[in-house]
Amino acid sequence: MAKILTLTLNPALDLTVRLARLEPGAVNRSEAMLTHAAGKGVNVAQVLADLGHDVSVGGFLGEANPQAFDALISRRGFGDAFVRVPGETRSNIKIAEQDGRVTDINAPGPLVSEEAQHALLDKVAMIGAQFDAVVVAGSLPRGVSPQWFQGLLQQLKGLGLKVALDTSGEALRTGLQAGPWLVKPNTEELAEALDYATDAISQLHQQGVEHVVVSDGAAGVTWYRPGTALHATPPKVTVASTVGAGDSLLAGMLHGLLSDEAAEQTLRRATAIAAMAVTQIGFGISDDAQLAHLESGVDVRTLTEQ
């Protein structure tokens, strides 16, 4: 299996509140409340570990409240490449209703100094060559500019790593200019980053992006490679929470690509892993038999050439 580094520059403690229905302005009583060490790269790492890969996690982590992350790293056997910074890792509140709707309240995260940014670049330079691929996922914390972020991606590419990017907004717009190996936006994120260009996919291929994986919720996933495209429609499932579905999809795509699996099987399994993610609160592959059942319900078809 592959050796993979995930970088989460703005991780979070996810506090997920389950309730029947959110009534704004009223007293709401929860059915359950769960706390997870999270952030997009951390979520991807957990699924990759379940798929058998050797995973290290890094980014910026608040010194004041590292306990949940330290426990996850220890329990999962992850390599620890986090740079500790003053302050607290942010807490994000996820309100998950019975019909699958999720309301997010995301905090901004700590202020990351230039010194900490240099420290992460130094750490990446020291350990990067050990890995087959790197996932850079999530939002930028305060103090980190899109230009610095682009430089990080270019450094990772310079180390010979396959770079998988999953972010949004200005970070995505700037990050695409570095020509990562794989990007996984949703339809809205891609349209915003490329100003709703009609030739967005070919534009990305010209910039050096080999794999463009575009998610569109229940409508499915489209995977564009130069000259070809596949679309997968997921099976219908009961939704508990959509949090982590895109991260699970990305992990599944990396698994198939780095294992040299057939394209159809790669997309089928990745779509099934994402479908499994929405049936649960938390991250990872909890039931191999359920995953196999979901895989059998994924429809994969070839689209017209791009």
What is the sign, positive or negative, of the torsion defined by CA atoms of 25, 30, 34, 39? negative
More confident residue, 223 or 279: 223
Structural domains in the chain, CATH included, are: 1-144 (3.40.1190.20), 216-306 (no CATH)
Q: By percentage, how much of the chain surpasses pLDDT 70?
A: 98
CA distances from 4 to 127, 133, 208, 298 (A): 11, 5, 21, 27
For residue 300, pLDDT over 70 is answered with: yes
250-285: per-residue pLDDT in tens?
A: 999 999 999 999 999 999 999 999 999 988 877 789
pLDDT value, residue 199: 85
pLDDT value, residue 197: 67
Cα 174 from Cα 123, distance rounded (Å): 22
> 193-216 burial string, b = 16+ CB within 10 Å, else e?
bbeeeeebbeebbeeebbbbbbbe
pLDDT value, residue 81: 98
User: By C-alpha distance, which of 211, 208, 224, 232 is closest to 305?
Assistant: 224
The active-site residue, picked from 70, 247, 287, 288, is 247
Average pLDDT, rounded, for the chain: 93
DSSP of 198-260, one letter per residue?
Answer: TTHHHHHHHTT--EEEEE-GGG-EEEEETTEEEEEEPPP---S--TTHHHHHHHHHHHHHHTT
Give the mean pLDDT of 89-108.
89
Please report which helix (H) or strand (E) contains residue 12, including its range: strand 12-19
Give the mean pLDDT of 92-105.
88
Laid out side by side, the sheet with 90-97 consists of 32-38, 12-19, 90-97, 102-105
Contacts 24+ apart (CB under 8 A), 225-230: 225/263, 226/306, 227/305, 227/306, 228/302, 228/305, 228/306, 229/201, 229/302, 229/303, 229/304, 229/305, 229/306, 230/263, 230/264, 230/267, 230/300, 230/301, 230/302, 230/303
pLDDT value, residue 195: 80
Laid out side by side, the sheet with 221-225 consists of 79-85, 54-62, 3-8, 133-137, 162-166, 182-183, 211-215, 221-225, 228-233, 299-302
pLDDT value, residue 47: 97
> 228-238 burial string, b = 16+ CB within 10 Å, else e?
ebbbbebeebe
Pairing of strands 182-183, 90-97: unpaired
Give the mean pLDDT of 166-190.
95
DSSP state of 161: P
145-159, 179-193, 272-286: the lowest-pLDDT one: 272-286
pTM of the full structure: 0.93
Give the mean pLDDT of 132-139.
97
pLDDT value, residue 306: 42
| 247 classed as catalytic | yes
Which bin fits 217, alpha (ψ -120 to 50), beta or left (φ > 0)? Answer: left
DSSP state of 10: S
For residue 39, pLDDT over 80 is answered with: yes
